[in-house]
Structure formats: C-alpha cells, structure tokens
Amino acid sequence: MSNHSEAPVIPVEAFEPPYYVAVFTSVRTQDQSGYSETAARMEALVKDVPGFLGMDHAQTPGGLSITVGYFRDADALTEWRSDAEHREAQKRGRAEWYESYTLHVAKVERSHGFSRV
C-alpha cells in the first residue's frame, strides 16, 4: 500500500452503521516484484468506488498483513469486487504474491471511536 511514514497514523473514523468491512489478511511470498505498484494502483482505484469509506492497513514484523476496507453498503463492496482491474490483480496475487490469505466480509452493526485530540 502507500507509504504512510510521513502521514500521521490514525485509524479510519467510526461511521454511522450499518456499513460493511472487508478484512483481507495475508502472508506474502518472497518475490514481490510489481506488488508495490499494483497495491498503490488498487488503493487509488478503490477510492473511486462510490460508497468507499476508507482503508486501514497494518503489518506485523513476522509478515502478517491486514487490510480493512470500509464500504457504505453492499453495492459498493460488490462494485469493488467486480472491478476488472481489481480482478486481474487478485489473479496475479494468487499466482505470485501471496503464500496464503483470508477474506472476511461483515456488516458492521456498532461503531464508535475516540481521539485524544
């Protein structure tokens, strides 16, 4: 995903439920040729989906990555899932970049946040 080292680290805000989350958890292969460019393209592309609310991403020192995408409704999530360029990136991910992954999609029924600001 994008380089967040210069941006402040803050989670995506809490939204008024219901909305949807797609939680993508992965372990990547050693060869990551082209991954960064494709991930940056996917991040830019998903922002154009009407109903996309934001994305959180974290990676452990051991290599487990978690990306959470937030979507206003099921139609927005379906549009992202059906995007042709996204589908091609998924195929390449299975063929080259991922050792394993899981995807969990859930409807959020409760949401709140806190900020010390």
Residue 2 has pLDDT above 70, yes or no: no
pLDDT for the residue numbered 23: 98
Report pTM. 0.89
User: What span, in angstroms and rounded, lies between the C-alpha atoms of 101 and 25?
Assistant: 5
- Find the mean pLDDT for residues 43-65: 96
| 1: pLDDT strictly greater than 90 | no
Selection from 23, 35, 25, 17 nearest residue 110 by Cα: 17
Question: Which token pair is 73?
Answer: 């409704």
Report the share of the chain in percent with pLDDT over 90: 87
Cα of 16 vs its chain's centroid, Å: 20
Whether omega before 8 lies within 30 degrees of 0, making that bond cis, reads no
CA distance 18 to 107: 7
pLDDT at 5 over 80: no
Planar angle of CA 29, 33, 38, nearest 5 degrees:
100
Q: What pLDDT, in 10s, does the model give residues 61-105?
A: 989 999 999 999 999 999 999 999 999 999 999 999 999 999 999
